[in-house]
Structure 1
Amino acid sequence: MMYKWEEEKGNEVFLSQPINSIWHDWTWEEVMLEVRKMAAYIKSLNLEKKSKIAILSKNCAHWIMSDLAIMMSGHISVPLYPNLSAKILNKILIHSETKLMFVGKLDDFEKMKSGIPSDVNCVTYPFYSQNYPKWNDLIRDVFPLQENVIRDDNELVTIIYTSGTTGDPKGVMHKFYNFSFATTNAVNALPLKDESFFSYLPLSHIAERLLIEMGSIYCGGKVSFAESLDTFAQNLSYSQPSVFLGVPRIWTKFQQGILAKLPQKKLNILLSIPIISSLIKKKIQKGLGLSKARNVFTGAAPTPAALIRWFESLGIIIQEAYAMTENTCYSHVSFREKIKIGSVGQALPLCDVKLSEQNEIMIKHDALMDGYYKDEEKTNDTIQNGWLYTGDEGEIDSEGFLKITGRVKDIFKTSKGKYVAPSPIELKLSANKNIEQVCIVGTEIPQPIALVVLSDRGREKTKEDLISSLEKTLEVVNPKLEKHEKIHNIIVVKEEWTIENNLLTPTMKIKRNAIEKIYRINYEEWYDSSKRIVFFRNNL
């Protein structure tokens, strides 16, 4: 498809990126010239055929260019999260047998640098140059690769190391056919054509890679990037994409931002006045950067139904989706005209789904992973008789809508011997706008307790108002739960769970095991407390 757009849309902008607040554009023709030159340079290195080449960078135009150059030069990409510790970076580079690495836009490369083995050569991107040979210098006098290289469908295109919510990352192997199958069928099913995309979630993650990079290539679209967390809102508002992918934490931040400027009571009044309502919705949509968005997705973790309904009241229709690295991000999606809030949608075309006897979701289609790199045992545990065991627990209704009810491995046993699935309870608690993050725990105590991190709104409340709000939430939520699921008390922890302190994955899912390690020593003391709301001043 790249060759098609190079010829047909050569002068149209493909990649657009703000650098020091100035937007830089690359047309399809310009991108392909860079890609062809870098592919030729890589070939000149005479690496062993199908060598592993890593990409260590935040999202930027050259991330996509380097990925395409790796494909054209006949090698295999190993995309890496841009915030890995030196220890994990070293493990992955050694395990994958990486020979060359592109190093680009990073916040704290000095802390990671020691993890790079001495035999791994590095190339650095323009604009974000580390102390390595620079992209522009290397390709300046290189004659671009003229051939329109077509790789075999069954060749390995990438090894994607999962973000690892439970232990060390595993290398998921995908061939070119998998990318082609998943992208072609998803683009046709949604459908997507000449779209504009906004890229900010890690391109090293399968969702961003397939939807943004592959999606834009297959539909001839445009990709705009966020420069930083500080400029995210401004960059998104400027870009006004037609396709946007968020995660629950982003939607919560959007909501908090809106309510900080327009309190809920005032918003309700304005939305009740027909003419004013329309103006307010348009203003909010444009301010967020979603005024042109036709497909607005959420995924990576469950999004509270109350939050989806709240955005629906503003004319922003959020479509839940569900997939994973191991099935090439091809499983379920909520089609805009067929949404059932509380579900993650219906299976995409040519995707079979069923539940095991334990209600574990099982997926089968032609683009399942080739396996975990160098780990046949885990591969055989995960794929059995052609079915991918996802590790997620679910329900399927008569219309084929899938509801995620938890993670099979997240289920814990209380001291009463009762099993509790935390995810559905966490979703119910998340309806309280004073709560930013929540983790239900309860191993070795009689009843579950809720660990919560406050939202910005919650932090501004007086202690008395906050206690009242959280107690009311318990009174609303507990009657909806089974006896053994009822929350004993809520523990308000001071420190936020972040990617930086290793309590969130790069896609902003909580790392339960890591959280448990920190707080588990306090469970019995908290449970024995006479207070329903306990404030814990921890220092992580």
Structure 2
Amino acid sequence: MGQNYPLPPQMLDKWARETPDKVYLRQPVNRVYREFTWSQVRDQVLRMANALKKLGLKPGDKVAIMSKNCAEWFIADFAITAAGMISAPIYFTASSKTIRFIIEHSEAKAVFIGKLDDTKPTIEGIPESTIKIAMPYDTAPCDHSWDDLLKNNDPVDQSAQPELDDTFSLSYTSGSTGNPKAAVLTFRNVAYGAITPANELQVTQSDRLISYLPFIGRTLSHLTEL
């Protein structure tokens, strides 16, 4: 059966319960930090998970994320998991052709759109039928706003409880040698990738991580930050 590892939703619940007021994420906006505690992140995750369900999505559905690194990227990813869905991140400089291919190939029903340098490819690449959710930044026109969905939805009672070998995410290559190809990542993959470096580096609760490399990098090279 292999070794068991704590999964992302379990760890979020753990730290929100044990250190609710401790800062988890810091997001610079206009050179000023916005801070998110563990309990605040969990609350937003559970509200956004409920919002996805209220928008008609079902467990097992795919949801894309297209944004530069930001606190909301983490929260959206957690929310997709909490709703029992599967993320399909898209590199933030992808062309409209690549964006459309990934959304159609993954069968993503919705996409979170966040910080982008150029929104034109995004607007052109996302099919009309795909639900578009705008993170709280200047972004492409969307069907729903992040803040409104958080305000208008109560938290779900409980996060989905995935198994280690359930699919966590579809991570696509850049498409430089043809159409992008999806690597299927399980919860076991990401759990092992998180716990092993932390143990080897002897990371403590007082340590900090600066998020620099894009979450979804060319040839999957930056996935370990997830």
> Which band: TM-score by shorter chain?
0.7 to 0.9
2:84 pairs, out of 74, 86, 89, with 74
Aligned counterparts of 1:147 and 1:4: Cα–Cα separation in 2: 13
Q: Which digits, 9 at most, give the CA deviation of each residue in 1:410-453, with x for residues without a partner?
A: xxxxxxxxxxxxxxxxxxxxxxxxxxxxxxxxxxxxxxxxxxxx
Q: Which runs of 5+ in 2 are unaligned?
A: 1-10
Residue 185 of structure 2 corresponds to residue 185 of structure 1: no
Aligned counterparts of 1:91 and 1:135: Cα–Cα separation in 2: 25
CA apart distance, 1:118: 1.5
Q: Do 2:59 and 2:83's aligned partners in 1 also have CA atoms closer than 8 Å?
A: no
Counterpart of 2:123? Answer: 113
Q: Do 1:158 and 1:174's aligned partners in 2 also have CA atoms closer than 8 Å?
A: yes
Counterpart of 1:92? Answer: 102
Q: Which digits, 9 at most, give the CA deviation of each residue in 1:211-269, with x for residues without a partner?
A: 3x4xxxxxxxxxxxxxxxxxxxxxxxxxxxxxxxxxxxxxxxxxxxxxxxxxxxxxxxx
Residue 167 of structure 2 corresponds to residue 156 of structure 1: yes
Aligned-partner SS, 1:26: strand
Scaled by the length of structure 2, the TM-score of the pair is 0.88
Residue 112 of structure 2 corresponds to residue 102 of structure 1: yes
Counterpart of 2:47? Answer: 37
Residue 140 of structure 2 corresponds to residue 130 of structure 1: yes
Amino acid at match of 1:36: L
Counterpart of 2:208? Answer: 196
Aligned counterparts of 2:122 and 2:46: Cα–Cα separation in 1: 30
Counterpart of 1:305? Answer: none
Counterpart of 1:11? Answer: 21
Aligned counterparts of 1:129 and 1:37: Cα–Cα separation in 2: 22
Aligned counterparts of 1:157 and 1:39: Cα–Cα separation in 2: 15
Scaled by the length of structure 1, the TM-score of the pair is 0.38
Aligned-partner SS, 2:52: helix
Identity of aligned residues (%): 34
Aligned counterparts of 1:63 and 1:38: Cα–Cα separation in 2: 12
RCO higher in structure (CA 8 A, sep ≥6): 2
CA apart distance, 1:129: 4.1
Amino acid at match of 1:199: S
Q: Which runs of 5+ in 1 are unaligned?
A: 214-540
CA apart distance, 1:153: 1.4
CA apart distance, 1:168: 2.7
1:168 pairs, out of 179, 182, 186, with 179
Counterpart of 2:30? Answer: 20
Q: Which digits, 9 at most, give the CA deviation of each residue in 1:102-144, with x for residues without a partner?
A: 0110010123311111211100001334322101112202111
Aligned-partner SS, 1:199: coil
Aligned counterparts of 2:193 and 2:97: Cα–Cα separation in 1: 33
Q: Do 2:65 and 2:113's aligned partners in 1 also have CA atoms closer than 8 Å?
A: yes
* Structure 1 residues 183 and 109: alpha-carbon distance in aligned structure 2, compared to 1, 3 A threshold: same
Aligned-partner SS, 1:153: coil
Q: Which digits, 9 at most, give the CA deviation of each residue in 1:319-364, with x for residues without a partner?
A: xxxxxxxxxxxxxxxxxxxxxxxxxxxxxxxxxxxxxxxxxxxxxx
Q: Do 1:199 and 1:208's aligned partners in 2 also have CA atoms closer than 8 Å?
A: no
RMSD (Å) for aligned C-alpha atoms: 1.6
Matches within 5 A, 1:149-298: 149-194=160-205, 195-205=207-217, 206=220, 208-211=222-225, 213=226
Aligned counterparts of 2:113 and 2:147: Cα–Cα separation in 1: 13
CA apart distance, 1:165: 4.4
CA apart distance, 1:203: 1.0
Aligned counterparts of 1:147 and 1:115: Cα–Cα separation in 2: 34
Counterpart of 1:409? Answer: none
Aligned-partner SS, 1:69: helix
Aligned counterparts of 2:179 and 2:188: Cα–Cα separation in 1: 27
* Structure 1 residues 140 and 27: alpha-carbon distance in aligned structure 2, compared to 1, 3 A threshold: same
Q: Do 2:89 and 2:171's aligned partners in 1 also have CA atoms closer than 8 Å?
A: yes
CA apart distance, 1:148: 4.2
Aligned counterparts of 1:210 and 1:40: Cα–Cα separation in 2: 28
* Structure 1 residues 153 and 97: alpha-carbon distance in aligned structure 2, compared to 1, 3 A threshold: same
CA apart distance, 1:22: 1.3
